Amino acid sequence: MDFLNSILPFLLCSVLLTACVSKSPQGMGDENTEKAASQLRIMSYNIHHANPPGEKGVIDLEAIAGVIRSEEPDLVALQEVDVHIPRSGNVHQAEALAAMLGMHFYFAKAIDFGGGEYGVAILSRYPLSDTRKVELPKEDSPKAEGRVLAVATVQLPGGQRIRFGSTHLDIQSSANRQQQVQTIIAVAAADQLPFILAGDLNDYPDSPAIATLDETFQRTCLAACEATFPQDKPDRIIDYIAFTRSSGLAVRSHRVVPESYASDHRPVVAVLGLSSAPGAFSR
């Protein structure tokens, strides 16, 4: 009994210490920051302001969150995002999705719309910094909507850094898309960090705008690629993920998610391998 009494305080302490070691919340933002990332899982998703195309007037942001959650991406480029617009419940959709998924976010307004703001956004498992909005040209058609590129620096585990951009190019004019791609290329060319671009580019793989993009960026799918739009019977490729050719990144996989409820686009997911060369992502 004396022996038991003597070790009881140590046993109790051990139990209490075990109970006090809490697990991280099960959000998508949890990661072991001491381990350098060897790959990145990227998603591009035009969310159609969370309005399922088969449900007029319905807003189902949880369905969008569910699609993203199921794919477990590190970085997400979102297009057609509503912020404080009555049609979608006056919600800041980028902020709400980030909260649902345990991710960081950045929203860039393209236009004022319906009493609020409408544009593109970035969701990230990792911290974001140096966020900025780049206005894209649209001189060819004065009726064309304003378009933007949202850019952020992503701080990866182990001190690595990359630049990530989300965009949605003009739907009306091929000349505008050409100008917009050239602007994006200029932004990437002025940057020493690897640059990943994702978004709804509103053009086909054999178009002049995509040919121009290919001069600087490598798309994650170049042959036998799956269509991304419309969601029910997709027959065209207009959503892309790409990265600068000098980045040291490599494509490990590419797929289109067969999701047909939440939006009028199907999301694109690619896994990119990171270079192990010293300093490749830290300039």
Question: What is residue 36's predicted lDDT score, i.e. its pLDDT?
Answer: 60
Mind listing the pLDDT tens digit for each residue in 163-200?
999 999 999 999 999 999 999 999 999 999 999 999 99
> 2-273 in CATH: which number?
3.60.10.10
Q: What is the length of the chain?
A: 283
Q: In one letter, which amino acid is 111? A: I
Find the mean pLDDT for residues 5-13: 40
Burial label, 92 (beta-carbon count in 10 A; 0-12, 13-18, 19+): buried
3-state secondary structure of 18: helix
3-state secondary structure of 88: helix
Backbone angles phi, psi at 206, to 5 degrees: -95, 15
Mind listing the pLDDT tens digit for each residue in 217-242?
999 999 999 999 999 999 999 999 99
Question: Which DSSP state fits 262?
Answer: S
For the CA atoms of 99, 122, 163, 256, the dihedral, rounded to the nearest 10 degrees, stands at 110
Which residues does 121 contact at the CB level (< 8 Å), separation at least 6? Answer: 77, 78, 81, 93, 94, 97, 105, 106, 107, 108, 150, 166
Report how far residue 56's alpha carbon sits from residue 185's, in angstroms, rounded to the nearest whole number. Answer: 38
Question: What is residue 139's predicted lDDT score, i.e. its pLDDT?
Answer: 86
Question: What is residue 22's predicted lDDT score, i.e. its pLDDT?
Answer: 32
Question: Which DSSP state fits 281?
Answer: T
Q: Which of 75, 252, 99 is nearest to 166 (CA)?
A: 75
Q: Is 111:135 a contact under the CB 8 Å cutoff?
A: no
Six token digits for residue 254:
């590419």
Q: Is 178:208 a contact under the CB 8 Å cutoff?
A: yes
Q: Choose between 7 and 263: higher pLDDT.
A: 263
Burial label, 139 (beta-carbon count in 10 A; 0-12, 13-18, 19+): exposed
Report how far residue 167's alpha carbon sits from residue 190's, in angstroms, rounded to the nearest whole number. Answer: 18
Mind listing the pLDDT tens digit for each residue in 53-96?
999 999 999 999 999 999 999 999 999 999 999 999 999 999 99
Question: What is residue 276's predicted lDDT score, i.e. its pLDDT?
Answer: 60
Find the mean pLDDT for residues 106-130: 98
The domains of the chain are located at 2-273
